[in-house]
Amino acid sequence: MTALAHLGLSDLARLASVGLRTRKLRAALSALGIAIGVAAIVAVLGLSSSSQAGLLAEIDRLGTNLLTVANGRTLVGGTAELPTAAPGMIRRIGPVTAVEPVGALNTIHAYRSPHIPAVNTNSISVQAASLGLPDAIGTRVAQGRYLNAATARYPVAVLGATTAQRLGIDRIYPGERIWVGGKWFSLTGILAPSALAPEIDTAVLVGFPAAKKYLGFDGHPSTIYVRAATDRVTAVQPVLAATANPENPSQVTVSRPSDTLVARAAAQSALNGLFLGLGAVSLLVGAIGIANIMVISVLERRSEIGLRRALGAAKGHIRAQFLTEAMLLALLGGTLGVATGAGATTLYATSKHWAVIVPTIAWAGGLGAAILIGLLAGLLPALRAARMSPTQALWAV
């Protein structure tokens, strides 16, 4: 240990970097495995954190005070039916600020034209919708106009965002129509995607009066979207089922879409384990590469080891030199990997308009893992170099 005291950190770093500077291509290729593994870990954790932050920001923007009341199941397993008076009864709840029902027409389908085979439904639903629906579910009209008191009485339809894509309609032109329930319906608008009510994205929306007149709708809502005062949501939620259907509250399903989205964001992190595993495999491959290059380096530099030992270098000096060289190599790869992973996170998050978040555990853990791998990968070659006697090393040259 006293001999090591005469070798300063700067001298040790300069001495350890000789092997890297003289064998640049080999060092770069060995560091690449570490860089790929660290980049994968940083990118996975960074993108996961950024996407969750973006989703939570979107939820905050749309509001967490939206509740949905839907028909549940009967005792025999059939689909229950909400009373036609349910929206009006829910409006009487004090903290409720908006009530917008929709009614599913399960036997009615929509097509681009009457020449489309009936089986090609494209999983598009037809629903009667109230006039204030877009505001209630936190969406807007992307093209054209939404239903109003006049158009809701006639064969007029508005398309959800996904429905428009499936029908091949990206703009609203004068006179444009679709075939709904065996009748032509004029198109007036296309909605933007709805994060809180994705079922509306795959729907064709018509007015309640038009659905009754032209499509045989019975008037029973299938889902009611309810907005309540933000600080009273937890008080409103328990009473919605009994208010909507006093006779059979157990046949009513009440949910909070924002909670579902938060749970989905948390569930996405479970998939990160797969990608983190791939990153760990890359780190293992990188560690083997570093160990390999260090073993070869010891064999190639026997003359250097013998000469340094003959000039008075202790075993600790040789051991520290090769161990530091391996750690520098891994640190080089780790730094490159952190930069690459952070850059990928920044580019992707920016393109999605998310907040860019690279967790401390990602970059610090990546660098720490790289240094640890360098330490472990270089330990055996360093010990092997230190055990080499000066005469044996010089004699083998």
Q: What is the pLDDT of residue 125?
A: 95
Q: What is the pLDDT of residue 215?
A: 95
Q: What is the pLDDT of residue 176?
A: 93
pLDDT band at 5 (very low <50, low <70, confident <90, very high): very low
Q: How far apart are CA 36 and CA 232, in angstroms?
A: 49
What crossing angle do the helices spanning 302-310 and 257-300 adopt, rounded to 10°?
Answer: 70
Q: How far apart are CA 377 and CA 298, in angstroms?
A: 13
Q: What is the pLDDT of residue 331?
A: 84
Q: What is the pLDDT of residue 154?
A: 96
11-15, 193-197, 214-218: which is most confident: 214-218
Q: In whole numbers, what is the pLDDT of the chain averaged over residues?
A: 82
Cα-based distances in Å from 167 to 44, 181, 197, 211, 351: 35, 15, 20, 21, 27
pLDDT band at 386 (very low <50, low <70, confident <90, very high): low
Kindly tell me if the per-residue pLDDT of 43 is higher than 60. Answer: yes
pLDDT band at 78 (very low <50, low <70, confident <90, very high): confident
pTM beyond 0.75, yes or no: no
What residue spans define the domains of the chain?
4-59+268-395, 66-261
Region for residue 180 given its phi and psi (left: phi exceeds 0; alpha: psi -120 to 50; beta: otherwise): beta
List, for residues 105-121, the tens digit of each pLDDT value. 999 999 999 999 999 99
**Percentage of the chain exceeding pLDDT 70:** 78
List, for residues 18-31, the tens digit of each pLDDT value. 666 667 777 777 77
Kindly tell me if the per-residue pLDDT of 267 is higher than 60. Answer: no
Q: What is the pLDDT of residue 91?
A: 94
What radius of gyration, in Å, describes the C-alpha atoms of the chain?
33
Of residues 227 and 45, more confidence is placed in: 227
pLDDT band at 278 (very low <50, low <70, confident <90, very high): low
86-90, Cβ contacts within 8 angstroms, sequence gap of 24 or more: 86/221, 86/224, 86/243, 86/244, 86/245, 87/130, 87/221, 87/224, 89/243, 89/244, 89/246, 90/224, 90/226, 90/240, 90/243, 90/244
Q: Which helix (H) or strand (E) holds 186?
A: strand 183-191
- The mean per-residue pLDDT over the stretch 2-7 comes to 49
Q: What is the pLDDT of residue 378?
A: 74
Q: How far apart are CA 150 and CA 86, in angstroms?
A: 24
Q: What is the pLDDT of residue 305?
A: 62
Q: What is the pLDDT of residue 103?
A: 95
Kindly tell me if the per-residue pLDDT of 319 is higher than 80. Answer: no
**Worst-scoring range by mean pLDDT, 99-108, 120-129, 220-229, 326-335?**
326-335
Residue with tokens 């090393």: 393
Q: What is the pLDDT of residue 160?
A: 96
- The mean per-residue pLDDT over the stretch 287-297 comes to 71
Q: How far apart are CA 216 and CA 183, in angstroms?
A: 12
Q: What is the pLDDT of residue 355?
A: 81
Kindly tell me if the per-residue pLDDT of 3 is higher than 50. Answer: no
- The mean per-residue pLDDT over the stretch 286-303 comes to 68
Kindly tell me if the per-residue pLDDT of 269 is higher than 70. Answer: no
Q: What is the pLDDT of residue 19?
A: 62
- The mean per-residue pLDDT over the stretch 367-387 comes to 76
